[in-house]
Amino acid sequence: MYIAIAGNIGAGKTTLTNMLAKYYGWEPRFESVGFNPYLDDYYKDIKRWSFSMEIYFLQQRMKDLNAVMQSNHTIIQDRSIFEGVHVFVRNNYERGDLSDREYTTYMELFNTMQEMMVLPNLMIYLRKSVPMLIGQIQKRGRECEQTMQIDYLQGLNERYEDFIYHQYEGRVLVIESDEMDFENNPEDFRKSINRIDAQLFGLFSEEHFQ
């Protein structure tokens, strides 16, 4: 089984991925943030480094997806290849940080690779407002993220809404996470577990949690 955690920068994906992996005994997989050779340069000059960084992410996520498809046990992934393309790459293109030529080249490559891809059994979308995202980004203190512009985060949020509600064809569980604290509030985590169980194992109907 393949589970993906989706959400904007600072939405809490890594925390929830770790907690769900521990609770269910799933194998976690994470984005190559700490080892990304383009990330620092990207935040300093997004237009200059967008194409290089997105190509790097694409090949890393394809490697991860290949590992998922070859695995015989459940994997939970912090951000999937699909949102990387339809949210982050699309956002950079609409901002003018990717040229028409770069975007066309990227999408041709992705569309070729897409024939070998599988959708997650469940995508869990952590929906969080921009002010809450900013608070979380400041709290965790990654130096490369501290100069991130508000309109960049807002653009990503808008692309996420379009992706989740209008483009993505797989099963999605939306968690409104502004008031959620999975790490420090056991009740918040329990409620999320119950909703995940309902989606994956049919233990309850989703209406039970409305």
Q: What is the mean pLDDT of residues 82-109?
A: 96
Q: Is the separation of the CB atoms in 124 and 12 below 8 Å? A: no
Note the pLDDT of residue 210.
Answer: 46
- In whole angstroms, what is the distance from residue 114 CA to residue 53 CA? 19
| The pLDDT of residue 49 is above 70 | yes
Write down the pLDDT at residue 209: 45
Which has the closest alpha carbon to 11: 145, 98, 159, 135?
Answer: 135
125 vs 161: CA distance, rounded Å: 10
**Would you call 123 helix, strand, or coil by DSSP?**
strand
Distance CA 171, CA 186 (A): 26
Q: Is the pLDDT of residue 206 over 60?
A: no
pLDDT of residue 34: 59
pLDDT tens digits, one per residue of 10-39: 899 999 999 999 999 999 998 765 577 888
- Residues recognised as catalytic: 78
In the block, tokens 């949102």 appear at: 83
- Averaged confidence pLDDT in the chain: 89
Mean pLDDT for 120-135 is 93
Helix (H) / strand (E) containing 13 = helix 13-24
Q: What is the pLDDT of residue 140?
A: 66
- pLDDT tens profile 143-178: 555 566 788 899 999 999 999 999 999 999 999 999
CA distances from 104 to 47, 64, 117, 203 (A): 16, 24, 20, 44
Please report how many Cα atoms fall inside a 13 Å half-sphere around the Cα of residue 159, on the Cβ side. Answer: 24
Does the pLDDT value for residue 207 go beyond 80?
no
Query: Which amino acid is present at 175?
Result: I
pLDDT (0 to 100) of residue 50: 94
Q: What is the DSSP string of 27-92?
A: EEE----TT-TTHHHHHH-HHHHHHHHHHHHHHHHHHHHHHHHH-SS-EEEES-HHHIIIIIIHHH
pLDDT bin (cut points 50, 70, 90) of residue 44 is confident
122-127: strand order across its sheet: 27-29, 75-78, 2-7, 122-127, 172-176
CA 191 – CA 169 distance, rounded (Å): 25
Residue 123 · residue 6 · CB < 8 Å: yes
Please say if the pLDDT value at position 60 is more than 80: yes
pLDDT of the residue at 24? 97
**Sequence-separated (6 or more) residues with CB below 8 Å from residue 193:** 23
Highest-confidence segment of 36-45, 132-141, 183-192 = 183-192
